[in-house]
Amino acid sequence: MTDTTLPPEGEAHDRIEPVDIQQEMQRSYIDYAMSVIVGRALPEVRDGLKPVHRRVLYAMYDSGFRPDRSHAKSARSVAETMGNYHPHGDASIYDTLVRMAQPWSLRYPLVDGQGNFGSPGNDPPAAMRYTEARLTPLAMEMLREIDEETVDFIPNYDGRVQEPTVLPSRFPNLLANGSGGIAVGMATNIPPHNLGELAEAVYWCLENYEADEEATCEAVMERVKGPDFPTSGLIVGTQGIEDTYKTGRGSIKMRGVVEIEEDSRGRTSIVITELPYQVNHDNFITSIAEQVRDGKLAGISNIEDQSSDRVGLRIVVELKRDAVAKVVLNNLYKHTQLQTSFGANMLSIVDGVPRTLRLDQLIRLYVDHQLDVIVRRTRYRLRKANERAHILRGLVKALDALDEVIALILVALATGRAGDITLDDLHRPETFFKTFTQTGCTRVQFFEYKQSTLSFGEGTRTGCLSMNS
């Protein structure tokens, strides 16, 4: 080990500041941990998205890859996301896009994929240059009215464009699709739920906004019966659900759906038609085969995967003639992922801080976000209506002196000083004169007085409605 040689005294030497390595490591690791927690691994409570998911959706929306248009190559969506909002590897961005298109991963997919997007087993998706994607109609609800100043925007990584800090999210995506992620020193695992049940719970919270926490918790639990996993399956018992909803943490036991069948030859089989959420069916079959070979599972003669797009999942476990079906089934529950647990931990980012929340708190925070979106949208529409009414008011007044207005416009155009002349003599603000000069003399001559007055009346009514809503 050699001694570190410091540079000679001078300008460079003066810039060196000795620090305690323990304190520096602690401070730097905390900074790294918070960056991972807030900026990568945990979802935002308002829209249920991590930054990469939000950026992919907004990039696709901004690029026009929408449900009313044709699919576009996935590589284009990845490039738009990486170039404008997410300066990281293209592989992670494409993995994010693929997962949002898989109906076995998300209860309500946000990306409409065309091509090979993988399978619930070990089949990988095709490369991004082959697959195509666009937003689903439900994803458009995540972005609806985002152009009406309903959410805050911040500069992107290089300051060229703006990106949203959160999406309007007109449905509770965090609870509808769930979320999972491992941060530094903490992790989140939120189960997906049925959107109809969530809508009833949100409606109750809106109608009973002043209700206390106990009443709210009881009411939402009456309406949201439990998780609704995209791969179906069964939930065993209700204690895990109650713990999760009341404390934010719980263990929910899941089982696959099985049927015991007997063929014409008298041979008994256990047919599995649904597996627990996040269980890879290829690995599941491999696990059974390995345990049969090692002697841990007795009574099984053969395993056959009969799954297809037409019949869905169908795994047939053929039993030996002397095997008891119930005993074999119980052993499958015990030794394989035919029965497993979902360790729920409803952790999300609230005002920049990670918090574990109960079900009623998650819904309350979503309702507050929607109220804020509606207020901001109303203010935006009111301002636009007032600006429109201001223009129309001037047009209506100017039409009363149309001959003088046209004469001023002709003089301005002839002298090339259209931007310098105002309508002070006619007591008209400069804004209206600019409107006329931008419109052009021909359109002014054919402008109908009745149409202008009707538009003005409609504009003022819109402003009043916006102000009262």
Point out the residues that are catalytic: 130
**Cα–Cα distances in angstroms (integers) from residue 409 to residues 414, 418, 423, 433, in the given order:** 8, 7, 10, 8
290: exposed, middle or buried (Cβ count in 10 Å: 0-12, 13-18, 19+): exposed
